Structure 1
Amino acid sequence: MSGWECAWAKMKHERWMAFRGTGGNRIRIGGRTDDAARIAFISRHWCRIAGMGEFRANRYGVARTSERPIQTPERIEATLKSIPAYVEAFEKAFGGPNAVSFDNAARALAAFETTLITPNAPFDRFLRGDDKALTQEQQQGLELFMNTGCAACHSGMNLGGQAYFPFGVVKRPGADILPEDDKGRFAVTNTASDEYVFRASPLRNVALTPPYFHSGEVWDLEQAVAIMGDSQLGRELTKEEASAISAFLRSLTGEQPRITLPILPPSSPSTPKPDQELSAQAASN
């Protein structure tokens, strides 16, 4: 084996260790709502790498993640209780007369989310030993991703989603990228050190989920990569480097699930109406 082959084999082992699952309950509760697209796409590696025991343990974490985007749990519970078909379905699924609850709704959402796997991305095949699964540019992008520091925040089976970091480690982006009133975890903890601290988003299927950042102003993946290089790494990426990293990120797009939309049960006269919520908000203001 040549020196290059040895170095390449070593890098493949190291990148596998960097991207493998961490196991345990690592999903934390934070102040930001999650991008629904990123919550939805859970790689089959969750099951294959972590193992079924850890997968089941992590379902609690998925359930907690399901709760975070919901800002009005009382309204959710009242709405479900007002629709007889949902009451019947919850009693069948969870048992007992008090089966309809926000916690059970979160568990149901989590159970559904764990079916939204997007397996067999080119990068997955590459990790399984298929060196032809990635183009030369994508392999170059992977090396840049590892060597420039991207993997420090975006690691694990989903390349992120496991921890919180400041947005603007080296240089905070302008208000067009990060609105000044969006202070991340600070909104929940009220701790000064949590200002502009956010969860590092998982990068699987990131090419399918523009716009990027909290302002929703960036639609181009290469531009998003360049902004991250500048703000997080203090490095002005060349056009070629940003293009290569973006090419690698596109290799994280897996096979998309096919879902048949159900026919939703009808509301009842007691189901809360949107105008009732708006009236309540106006009264409180």
Structure 2
Amino acid sequence: MLSTAWALAVGFFLLVACQKEEEGPVSAAATAGFSALPLSVPAPADNPSTLAKVALGRVLFWDPVLSGGKDVSCASCHHPAAGYADGLDLAVGVNGQGTGAARRFRSPNSIPFGPRNTPSVLNTAFNGMMADGSSQPSAAPMFWDNRALSLESQALGPLANFSEMRGHQYSEALALDSLVARLRGIAEYQRLFSAAFGGSTPITAGNLAKALACFERTLVSTDTPFDRYLRGDKTALSDEQVRGLNAFVQSGCNKCHSGPMLSDYQLHVLGVVDNEKNQVSDSGPNGSYAFRTPSLRNLAFTAPYMHSGKLPDLQAVLRFYDPGPGPRPPLNPNVAPNQRDPLLNVRVTDPQAIIAFLGALSSSSFDQTIPARVPSGLRVGGN
């Protein structure tokens, strides 16, 4: 009897121990509020996705006809080779040439850099999504300051922006009307807009935004190792990445970086140093120096980091929050220490393991198709 009872007790102990060993990382992820990206993409009720809209949005994304000088496209700063970002600290739009990190201004130049680091448009279809998977695509926050709500609203902003795509050709007030007139003069766009939207005058600024948004909602990466791990594949993360996940939570990084997109989509005062290429300090909305928590997804493709692009790699990002024994990247002298968000009071444990974990948030499975031609007949992608 004793030997049988002893064997049962030992067996129960081993079972519990194994369960704890397996469930520890899963429990940490669950309590941190993480969740895998959904496999279906939400869309606003007034802009459901169709193949015709996506096809139209794709060529519009790559067609420089949408820029004032007909030489800049959306893809100039959101290129698939750079994870639909550009690999630069600050964007080079009008009067630029090249793609990705190789993009440079032509000379002479009277156009300033874009004032902020270019966010990737990958997975922006999920912006604002909560941990339970609920979302409001018609009110999804966009840009570093959340100034636009929805991909439809975001899509039109760069077209009218002086340094991004408009240039000197027309005023901001006339930008969208000028572009609509251009598109209406191209027979192939007349056919494509009619196929996508119907109606007697399908080429409008609103439909232009809807087509671009529909295409951007196809640019998703939902099969990262972390997504597979959260869906139950416990082999998807290495031992170091699991250790990094736990260190990420223990360090407090999940206070702001949680949910499916690893962002709370709130504005926080971090005190990141300004980019010296800007002529004036970027003080953010209402002079607050508060900027949105960026998503951590696809970080492998989107360095440098932060709104000013001043942190070159993930090591620098972690040192910004907790310098440890090494030097801390410079802070913004315009932000007093007591202005910085108290959520930044973190102590980074096992930084190399955290960086390994962050590597599990990227996947190269996203659509990287470049069209062979665009309806305007201009060079695909622009200069």
Q: Same fold (TM over 0.5)?
A: yes
**Which amino acid in the other structure matches residue 196 of structure 1?**
Y
User: Equivalent residue for 1:254?
Assistant: 363
Q: Deviations over 1:28-57 (max 9, x none)?
A: xxxx978352x22358997xx738xx5876
Q: Deviations over 1:194-240 (max 9, x none)?
A: x21112111110111112123334332221232244676244646xx
Alpha-carbon distance in 2 for matches of 1:102, 1:131: 47
Match of 2:272 among 170, 173, 181: 173
User: Equivalent residue for 2:27?
Assistant: 10
User: Equivalent residue for 1:133?
Assistant: 236
Contact 1:138 1:245 in 2 (8 A): yes
Contact 1:138 1:247 in 2 (8 A): yes
Matches within 5 A, 1:185-204: 186=285, 191-192=286-287, 195-204=288-297
User: Equivalent residue for 2:92?
Assistant: none
User: Equivalent residue for 1:219?
Assistant: 312
Greater Cα offset, 133-142 or 76-85: 76-85
Match of 1:205 among 262, 277, 298: 298
Alpha-carbon distance in 2 for matches of 1:93, 1:43: 20
Q: Deviations over 1:116-175 (max 9, x none)?
A: 121211101111222221122211221222222222222221112633222x2xxx2333
User: Equivalent residue for 1:264?
Assistant: 374
| SS of equivalent residue, structure 1 residue 93 | helix
Alpha-carbon distance in 2 for matches of 1:102, 1:197: 31
User: Equivalent residue for 1:63?
Assistant: 152
Alpha-carbon distance in 1 for matches of 2:247, 2:256: 14
Matches within 5 A, 1:1-285: 1-2=16-17, 4-5=20-21, 7-15=24-32, 17-19=33-35, 35-37=118-120, 39-41=121-123, 50=133, 61-70=150-159, 71=161, 73-74=175-176, 75-160=178-263, 162-166=265-269, 168=270, 172-176=271-275, 181-184=281-284, 186=285, 191-192=286-287, 195-229=288-322, 233-235=344-346, 237=348, 241-262=350-371, 263-266=373-376
Q: Deviations over 1:69-122 (max 9, x none)?
A: 442552443432333322321122112233212221111111111111212111
Alpha-carbon distance in 2 for matches of 1:163, 1:118: 23
**Which amino acid in the other structure matches residue 249 of structure 1?**
L
Alpha-carbon distance in 2 for matches of 1:33, 1:109: 22
Alpha-carbon distance in 1 for matches of 2:266, 2:346: 22
What TM-score do you get using the length of structure 1 for normalisation?
Answer: 0.69
How many residue pairs end up in the alignment?
A: 245
Contact 2:303 2:312 in 1 (8 A): yes
Contact 1:178 1:213 in 2 (8 A): no
Alpha-carbon distance in 2 for matches of 1:92, 1:24: 20
**Which amino acid in the other structure matches residue 265 of structure 1?**
P
User: Equivalent residue for 2:6?
Assistant: none
**Which amino acid in the other structure matches residue 223 of structure 2?**
N
Q: Deviations over 1:232-252 (max 9, x none)?
A: 6244646xx332221111100
Contact 2:43 2:137 in 1 (8 A): no
Alpha-carbon distance in 1 for matches of 2:273, 2:238: 34
**Which amino acid in the other structure matches residue 356 of structure 2?**
A
What TM-score do you get using the length of structure 2 for normalisation?
Answer: 0.53
- Give the direction of change, closer, same or farther, for the CA distance of 1:250–1:84 in structure 2 (3 Å limit): same
Alpha-carbon distance in 1 for matches of 2:117, 2:196: 26
Task: Specify the structure having the higher radius of gyration (Cα).
Answer: 2
Q: Percent identity?
A: 29
RMSD: 3.8
- Give the direction of change, closer, same or farther, for the CA distance of 1:114–1:58 in structure 2 (3 Å limit): farther
Contact 1:118 1:256 in 2 (8 A): yes
Alpha-carbon distance in 2 for matches of 1:120, 1:234: 32
Q: Gaps (5+ residues) in structure 2?
A: 1-15, 45-114, 141-148, 167-174, 324-330, 332-340
Alpha-carbon distance in 2 for matches of 1:258, 1:20: 19
Contact 1:159 1:204 in 2 (8 A): yes
Alpha-carbon distance in 1 for matches of 2:26, 2:218: 33
Alpha-carbon distance in 2 for matches of 1:161, 1:83: 42
- Give the direction of change, closer, same or farther, for the CA distance of 1:77–1:155 in structure 2 (3 Å limit): farther
